[in-house]
Structure 1
Amino acid sequence: MPEDTASPFPDTDHRIDLVVRDADVRTLDAERPRASAFAARDGRVVAVGTDWDIERLVGPGTRVVDAGGRMVVPGLVDVHTHLGLGGQAAAWELTLPPASGVTEILGAVRDQARALGPGEWVVGGTVASPVFQAVGNTGMLAALDEVAEGRPVMLRDDSLHNRWVNSRALEILGAGDATPDPPGGRYVRDAAGRAVGLLLGAPATDAELAARRAVADPRVRDLRSARTAVEILNSVGVTAAQDAAMMGAWLDVFTELDRAGELSAWVVASMPAREFVESGPVGTDLFDSAPRRRSPHVRPDFVKAVLDGVPMTRTSRFLEPYRPVGGDEGGDGGFTGDSLFTDDELALLLEAAVERGLHAKLHATADGTVRQALDAVRLMRERHGAGPVFHLAHPEFVHPDDVPRFRELDVVADASPALWFPNPMNGVIARQVQEHYMERVWPLRELREAGTSIAAGSDWPVGAALPDPWLSIETMVTRRSPDPLFPGSLAPEQAVDLATALAAHTVNAAEAMGLSHETGRIRPGLSADFIVLDRPLFDIPVQEVHATQVLQTWFAGRQVYTRGTARATVS
């Protein structure tokens, strides 16, 4: 009987660039959830099947990756990060360990100050929320001045919304005891009216701009920062990311890398409606520049609006008052926080986005602004139908009545950062809000059961010096910290299963970012973006998922990161 030589994949030819075999492939593709091998040509997957099927496609020059039975999944997709800021922090700035107290921070600032040249700022972070609150006095300002030895200092808090600066920085900013608070922010003062060096909201952007003006060669610095950011993401398995507030200067940097063939990730940009953290053209001036800043892997497809602040500093907008704290705004006045947009302003912004064919990511951390955002989306759906995509970022607190509205209005829950477990930031939040709020914080299970698409992101460098999707995946399931310093669980009834958590970091996020035809699954026609893992996620205790290591990361069919374990040969 003659041997059957017909290809099981008639749409392929024998010019196959890459074959992955002997793998436990979790494709995240509903049509074929599991396989043991796949093949790629010109950076795209062309066939998925068994080892026997795919082996027949190997030809001269095919690179063969033998995964040794290891788990292979699509490249992870981070729906909410800050690439420029994260890369900049990793490449150039002072990195403070998460548990740093005042003594450690002051010592690190002194060491950094002594290592810098004339005119340079000490810039870094992050300062944990409990520490940030504790340094709000003139004594700590004097201590920061002393270790800085005359240099300006700017340290970011773990929300990225606020800064701790010293007197030299305040002098450069032209900010003193009598300086009026700007719209959207304030200078923290003590009971005697003296500025203590804490900048909340808008003044933080002024400090960032002042520090940047002191940089000798911003272009060289930014290119290195961008490369560093993508290298870090690739090392933890991320091959696509949405920058949650990308200014035009950063768009130009990533587009330049892409056009030079140096970019190893898909980048979706959210262009700010107003200045946030960084300074530069925003709003329609920035939106209208999107077409010329687009490249094959850089997609400036979203606008970004920050509707409120963060609950740690009582700048989120709730439906119910914050806990009383005595004679300030959280006391007898029943303070609920403010939105940074009026309803009319938000509607005008979303109209401007839709008429340009853009989508929107809306920062709303508390139930008041969540409701405001959903009301605005309802208006857009009534006017424009199902076309535009809307993300609601950081929905920590959602009123039960609003949970089903996410699905009804087709709103993506941008569930980042990875803070759905006990940690110092949540401890500070619990002291600000009424007790019942923490019982349902990050209501992921309710949203999932209501049919909401949950897409996860790191929010890097907010909250952590490096992105950690594996910690995020694990704690979506456990609602516990793997660190014994933070025992207990956080709203455990809101846990989801591992499959949901993995989908939130792959296929769901890709769909939310408009990349479902490019990445997020291992499927014929999509980019060959995948990672080889050191452990089988579904066959180990979920409490071990956070320790997962990526052995190889591939983007568009080329290897962009390796730990040197999986073998590759060329036929």
Structure 2
Amino acid sequence: MSSSIAYINGNVFTVNDQQLRAEAFIVSENGIFTAVGSTAKVAAKAKTEHMVIHDLRGQFIMPGIHDAHCHMLMSAIAMTSYAALPGVVSNDNLIEELKNGSCACKYAHTNQDWIMGSGYAIPEYDRKVLDAEYPDTPVMIRGGAGHGVFLNTEAMKRSGYDIAAEPDGQGTCFLRDNRGHLTGEMAENSLSKAILAVPKAPASHAKRVMKEAQKMLHAAGVTSIQEASANTAFLDVTRELEQEQSLKLEIFPHIVYAPDWIGEEPTSSLHALLDNAEKYRSKHVDTRFVKIILDGVPLPPYYSHAALQEDGRAQQHKLFITNVHDAVQKYDERGMTMKIHCTGQGATRLTLDAFEAARKRNPGGPRHEIAHCSGVHDDDYARFRSLDVTAEMSPAFFFVHPVTESSGGLMDWNFAKMAKAGAHVTIGSDWGAGASPDILPCLQGIIDQVGQGDKQLGGERICRMLTLAGAEAIGREKELGSIEAGKKANFIAVSQDLSKGDFDGAKILKTWFEGEMVYEFQ
């Protein structure tokens, strides 16, 4: 009797242009698709070889989702160890919300006394609001889509800030009172001291919460991710999970080059990690990837994105690093893919210039990425294709959102212009800035853009962006991203036919990773 399993009577969207639709397929014992085709042919083969047969009963099946931008460990820690606050918290009810946060707010597993929370914004914040209740306990609340924090006085002291005379620096954003003193709200490169001072979760806790995060990703239909802020803790945990054979995701960690606050460890340590990335490679973890955050976010009150100046150059004081050309050249020559965060048109153009310079020096180098792509000048769309740069669109939950609509055009995820330019496009949740890794609810609003008015064409193109385009972006399209013989059997069952553009209300019913069912909707 064969150990393979035959799946029949499905509505299978393969994302394989040579055979876009199918009804059935066979998965081998070691989790590989070995045949794809009609129910009649697959069932006949299954009967001849005495296979187990699984009747899909008409369910919509497609390849597993590739999340092109995910902060897995950061999200896992926040879910378990931070007080979850509303999107906007007033000064009047901040203490009450912090005490009633839905997660345990004491960082108890570190034997430290910091209190952590996460929210979006606190209007006109002043550290004195927290000082009255927590005069001796450091408190940090992360907000601003992950780019800002709110600290009380004790947290600022322990982090080493000079409240009366902290100097500005490259890419910093300190909010100050009428005396010039720090209010406790800060963003971007101003975060470094605070983020590095916060006690880190022990490895045992990180491992525990990463398993929970993996379950959440499976429930969202995700079978592969690009981790967008990989550090030593993340790679240590994934190595442990791999060794005990409990890692059920393909992970492509972008190890942080800069700034240090997104990597949550010193720059020297992060650069050493990049130099030794190869030793962390394993069956499901490929470490040929680098991350840089070049500018901030086009959100109030920071507006820390690097826009274009009249001379066509990026606003220099908004950039987080000034050596992006050198960094791109260094890792391009090593064959490592760069993911560079850009939200302003100036940062995007500067990054495209750096990629162009690297490609002239090294014509056969890797395909690089610009993360977010919410600020692209009309003159630069065509450069994505000519330079073979991936337009990684994220965070998905902002594609159609009141904040996006009220941004005055500063946030523009323009799928239509990217499609017209022939750019290679992927989609990411940016989980870490949002509450869930589920991408599907965010996609109905972009169907018309992607399909140019054709709902089915839009659905098919989005399904490709979520799957094969992601595999192509990380150079693994021969193994992942579509349902075809010879590839890994990572696939999902969905309640609605996404290939016809039916994203609204769609639910993930089942997720398989290498032929093993790792999630089933209850």
In the alignment, which of 57, 69, 85 is matched to residue 80 of structure 1? 69
Q: Give the equivalent residue in structure 2 for 1:420.
A: 399
Contact 1:95–1:465 under 8 Å retained in 2: no
The 5-angstrom pairing of residues 197-216 of structure 1 reads 197-213=184-200, 215=201
The CA distance in 1 between the partners of 2:6 and 2:90, in whole Å, is 50
* Stretches of structure 2 lacking an aligned partner (at least 5 in a row): none
In the alignment, which of 216, 219, 224 is matched to residue 235 of structure 1? 219
Q: How far did residue 43 of structure 1 move?
A: 0.7
Residue 31 of structure 1 pairs with residue 29 of structure 2: no
Q: How far did residue 147 of structure 1 move?
A: 4.6
In the alignment, which of 113, 135, 155 is matched to residue 120 of structure 1? 113
The CA distance in 2 between the partners of 1:103 and 1:537, in whole Å, is 44
Q: Give the equivalent residue in structure 1 for 2:332.
A: 354
Q: How far did residue 373 of structure 1 move?
A: 0.7
Q: How far did residue 103 of structure 1 move?
A: 5.3
Residue 554 of structure 1 pairs with residue 512 of structure 2: yes
The CA distance in 1 between the partners of 2:497 and 2:135, in whole Å, is 51
The CA distance in 1 between the partners of 2:2 and 2:416, in whole Å, is 46
Q: Give the equivalent residue in structure 1 for 2:203.
A: 219
Contact 1:17–1:40 under 8 Å retained in 2: yes
The CA distance in 2 between the partners of 1:64 and 1:441, in whole Å, is 47
Residue 267 of structure 1 pairs with residue 251 of structure 2: yes
Residue 537 of structure 1 pairs with residue 498 of structure 2: yes
Residue 208 of structure 2 aligns to a residue whose secondary structure is helix
The CA distance in 1 between the partners of 2:92 and 2:242, in whole Å, is 43
Contact 2:63–2:483 under 8 Å retained in 1: yes
Q: How far did residue 320 of structure 1 move?
A: 4.3
Residue 475 of structure 1 pairs with residue 445 of structure 2: yes
Q: Give the equivalent residue in structure 2 for 1:488.
A: none
Residue 79 of structure 2 aligns to a residue whose secondary structure is helix
Q: Give the equivalent residue in structure 2 for 1:179.
A: 166
Residue 19 of structure 1 pairs with residue 6 of structure 2: yes
In the alignment, which of 164, 167, 172 is matched to residue 150 of structure 2? 164
The CA distance in 2 between the partners of 1:404 and 1:237, in whole Å, is 32
Q: How far did residue 509 of structure 1 move?
A: 1.2
- The one-letter amino acid of 1:161's match is H
Deviates more, 1:30-39 or 1:247-256: 247-256
- The one-letter amino acid of 2:157's match is E
The 5-angstrom pairing of residues 255-404 of structure 1 reads 255-274=239-258, 275-277=260-262, 278-280=264-266, 281-282=268-269, 284-312=271-299, 313-320=302-309, 338-342=318-322, 345-404=323-382
Contact 2:510–2:520 under 8 Å retained in 1: yes
Q: How far did residue 309 of structure 1 move?
A: 1.2
- The one-letter amino acid of 1:498's match is G
For normalisation by structure 1, the TM-score amounts to 0.82
Distance of aligned partners of 1:405 and 1:529 in 2 relative to their CA distance in 1, 3 Å threshold? same
Contact 1:84–1:222 under 8 Å retained in 2: yes
Q: Give the equivalent residue in structure 2 for 1:503.
A: 464
Higher relative contact order (CA 8 A, sep 6+): 1
Contact 1:205–1:279 under 8 Å retained in 2: no
Q: Give the equivalent residue in structure 2 for 1:328.
A: none
In the alignment, which of 209, 227, 232 is matched to residue 248 of structure 1? 232
- The one-letter amino acid of 2:119's match is T
Identity of aligned residues (%): 27
In the alignment, which of 420, 434, 443 is matched to residue 449 of structure 1? 420
In the alignment, which of 424, 430, 436 is matched to residue 459 of structure 1? 430
The CA distance in 1 between the partners of 2:34 and 2:511, in whole Å, is 19
Contact 1:38–1:48 under 8 Å retained in 2: yes
Distance of aligned partners of 1:97 and 1:16 in 2 relative to their CA distance in 1, 3 Å threshold? farther
What does the per-residue CA deviation read over 1:350-390, in whole Å, with 9 as the maximum and x for residues that have no partner?
12212322111111111111111111111111111143111
Q: Give the equivalent residue in structure 2 for 1:111.
A: 100
Residue 523 of structure 1 pairs with residue 477 of structure 2: no
Distance of aligned partners of 1:181 and 1:62 in 2 relative to their CA distance in 1, 3 Å threshold? farther
Q: How far did residue 338 of structure 1 move?
A: 2.6
Contact 1:16–1:57 under 8 Å retained in 2: no
Q: Give the equivalent residue in structure 2 for 1:191.
A: 178
Contact 1:17–1:61 under 8 Å retained in 2: no
- The one-letter amino acid of 1:261's match is Q
The CA distance in 2 between the partners of 1:114 and 1:307, in whole Å, is 33
Residue 261 of structure 2 aligns to a residue whose secondary structure is coil
Contact 2:10–2:59 under 8 Å retained in 1: yes
Residue 25 of structure 1 aligns to a residue whose secondary structure is strand
- The one-letter amino acid of 1:240's match is S
Contact 1:239–1:555 under 8 Å retained in 2: yes
The CA distance in 1 between the partners of 2:240 and 2:418, in whole Å, is 39
Residue 159 of structure 1 aligns to a residue whose secondary structure is helix
Residue 396 of structure 1 aligns to a residue whose secondary structure is coil
Contact 1:122–1:151 under 8 Å retained in 2: yes
Q: How far did residue 177 of structure 1 move?
A: 2.2
Contact 1:245–1:276 under 8 Å retained in 2: no
Contact 2:8–2:55 under 8 Å retained in 1: yes
CA RMSD of aligned residues (A): 2.7
Q: How far did residue 62 of structure 1 move?
A: 4.2
* Stretches of structure 1 lacking an aligned partner (at least 5 in a row): 1-13, 322-333, 431-436, 480-491, 565-571
Contact 2:160–2:193 under 8 Å retained in 1: no
The CA distance in 1 between the partners of 2:504 and 2:354, in whole Å, is 37
Distance of aligned partners of 1:288 and 1:550 in 2 relative to their CA distance in 1, 3 Å threshold? same
The CA distance in 1 between the partners of 2:31 and 2:187, in whole Å, is 46
Q: How far did residue 225 of structure 1 move?
A: 2.1
Residue 146 of structure 2 aligns to a residue whose secondary structure is coil
Residue 52 of structure 1 pairs with residue 40 of structure 2: yes
Contact 1:317–1:338 under 8 Å retained in 2: yes
Q: How far did residue 284 of structure 1 move?
A: 3.9
Contact 2:490–2:515 under 8 Å retained in 1: yes
Distance of aligned partners of 1:44 and 1:538 in 2 relative to their CA distance in 1, 3 Å threshold? closer
The CA distance in 2 between the partners of 1:351 and 1:320, in whole Å, is 25
The CA distance in 1 between the partners of 2:195 and 2:170, in whole Å, is 17
